[in-house]
Amino acid sequence: MRKDTYGDIGGITSAVKHALSVGYRHLDCASFYANEREVGIAIRESGVPRAELFVTGKVWNNCQGYERTRVSFEKSLADLGIEYFDLFLVHWPLPGYFAETYRALEELHKEGKVRSIGLSNFTIDDYEELSKTMTVAPVCNQIEVNPLLYRKDTIDFYKSKDIVTVAYKPLRAAACLTNATVLAIAAKYPSLTPGQLCVKWAAQNGLGVIPKSSNPGRMAENLRVFNDDGSQTISVEDMQALDGLTTPAMLVAWQEHYESRRGGDPPPPMVEEETK
């Protein structure tokens, strides 16, 4: 949840505090979201013990490289007011930088400042390149997954490496909620809204899921997906129908977004680099 989504500090803090009050315990953070101080205030004011929380952080493109990553990591810790991250990720596989960025995460892991490390938005090729130098296996790869963007080959590849795929944008910024197939299938399950259906679909496909919302009602709605008794399991037929909604045009759009994001906002030269 970027700061510009809410427009003020109080909105971010209130949204996070409410999420914690209804039972959420995983906070997916990133320096790029520009709200870590506000999230930190919510953590402190919530009264929830740090040991009960799972806090994820990410290093943005303009802070990649070994030294910059360590500086960015420490700033994120300070802004959040916490002493360690449960999970820290390379936000995008910035060409020429992500191997050194990941090396910094490996060192931070060895030092006990982060309990697990992982990736975000990495393709199969990106992982293959990283695997040439990495010494600590990533625990996850956080990528966009929803019924309108389901890259099964990528998910299956990471599963073969014992790396969990964590799905962000499980509703594709609400685009799934107007899709005719999603709506028709949701109508078959009285206890599932279209939004819950998409979250349930991802979970049944063996993915971690991190839905985002500042709406109290939808927060509770999303959480109920994981607290049901299993009676509303999506049928094999309906799962297959949802699996098949990804079109070639959607994959092309994703590829364009991937190229733009991983190539954008590169880090400036370090002082020592400028003098060489």
Per the prediction, the chain carries an average pLDDT of 92
Give the pLDDT score at 213: 83
pLDDT at 273: 42
Residues noted as catalytic: 33
The burial class, CB within 10 Å (0-12 / 13-18 / 19+), for 58 is: buried
SS3 content of the chain, % helix, strand, coil (to 5): 50, 15, 35
> What would the pLDDT profile of 200-228 be if each residue is shown by its tens digit?
999 999 999 999 888 888 888 888 887 76
Going by their DSSP bridges, the two strands 85-90 and 114-120 should be labelled as parallel
pLDDT at residue 88 greater than cutoff 60: yes
Question: Which homologous superfamily is 3-263 in?
Answer: NADP-dependent oxidoreductase domain (3.20.20.100)
Per residue, what are the HEC states of 129-182? HHCCCCCCCCCEEEEECECCECCHHHHHHHHHCCCEEEEECCCCCCHHHHCHHH
- Six token digits for residue 246: 């990804």
What per-residue confidence (pLDDT) applies to 218?
A: 85
Predicted pLDDT at 3: 46
> Over 80: is that where the pLDDT of 21 sits?
yes
| pLDDT at residue number 5 | 44
Q: What is the pLDDT of residue 95?
A: 97
| Alpha-carbon distances of 178 from 147, 195, 219, 272, rounded to whole Å | 12, 10, 19, 52
Is residue 4 within 8 A of residue 186, CB to CB? The reply is no
Radius of gyration of the chain (CA): 19
pLDDT given for residue 238 in this prediction: 98
pLDDT of residue 116: 98
pLDDT of res. 230: 62
Write the pLDDT tens digit of every residue in 123-179.
999 999 999 999 999 999 999 999 999 999 999 999 999 999 999 999 998 999 999
Whether 121 and 142 have beta carbons less than 8 Å apart is answered as yes
First to last CA, the chain: 39
Give 244-264 pLDDT, tens digit per residue: 999 999 999 999 999 999 989
Q: Which helix (H) or strand (E) holds 97?
A: none
The pLDDT value given to residue 104 = 98
Tokens standing for residue 47? 């009264």
DSSP string, 15-35: HHHHHHHHT--EEE--GGGS-
Q: What is the pLDDT of residues 37-76, one digit of tens each?
A: 999 999 999 999 999 999 999 999 999 999 999 999 999 9
Domain ranges of the chain: 3-263
Examine the pLDDT at 183 and tell me if it is beyond 50.
yes
